[in-house]
Structure 1
């Protein structure tokens, strides 16, 4: 993975935590978003741990550039000091798969990286609901244009509550593979990469609201 942060102490701490795991390896470090594309092209990490506030190119712009530059870009995990930061919400809207607080415990850091490396979203429904309430409402209504089926819409609504595929399957009394198919279809229709962006789209369109 690649660590991108202008704070040397943060980079040192994250590297120490992650390199101590037998299944994880830090391939490189960057001090600013401007360095991200060249390093990703050379190192090809699965995950980029991206600070949001950096002097030249911030994590939001760096995330947008990274996801636009490749058909199969690495997953982006935002590393932030404050969970209720507009920068965090904008990074999620730009395509980050989740966020991690800098004060997180080592075990939480490791688990977050593993989740994102598996291609899953690090989804905190309550946090995203709070962020959407404070900073949302700026996106186009992608849901209307996506023409989701009733069942796809039902699956999306359950996704916004943080339920996993097995939990959604149990709620709807269907098989897990059926849920996976619905999730894949609705992601494709919304034109988003993962569950985090689907949930953001649900709030941005008014499909669900921060107040419930």
Structure 2
């Protein structure tokens, strides 16, 4: 089962599924009594989202990565500029990043796009 989950993990696109599979893999590591760092290194390779992005945050992230400005994102999603700013800050917090470039890199690394 563990081997199958490791094969499946890189193919997953939905953050909640990635979280679930990583949780299962951590359970295997703990159950087997692996030495610290032995099996956990691959799990740390792609930072795990502790809190998945909402659908609207995912939309904002896609437009953010595409290089759209906050006003452009607001127009496209038909939401206020303040709502866009709130979503952007939430995305930054959940991805543990500080700017759009870091958010783009994290989104690609986590296969969120």
Bin for the TM-score computed over the shorter chain: 0.5 to 0.7
* TM-score normalised over the length of structure 2: 0.57
* TM-score normalised over the length of structure 1: 0.31
- Select 2:60's aligned residue among 145, 155, 158: 155
In structure 1, the residue matched to 2:46 is: 140
**Ranges in structure 1 where 5+ consecutive residues have no aligned partner:** 1-138
In structure 2, the residue matched to 1:121 is: none
In structure 2, the residue matched to 1:52 is: none
After TM superposition, where is structure 1 displaced by more than 6 Å over at least 4 residues in a row? none
RMSD: 1.7
- CA deviations over 1:60-92 (Å, ceiling 9, x no partner): xxxxxxxxxxxxxxxxxxxxxxxxxxxxxxxxx
In structure 2, the residue matched to 1:168 is: 73
Q: CA deviation at 1:151?
A: 0.6
Q: Between Structure 1 and Structure 2, how many residues are aligned?
A: 70
Q: Does 1:197 align with 2:102?
A: yes
Per residue, is there more strand in 1 or in 2?
A: 1
Secondary structure in 2 aligned to 1:148? coil
Aligned residue runs from structure 1 range 73-112, under 5 A: none
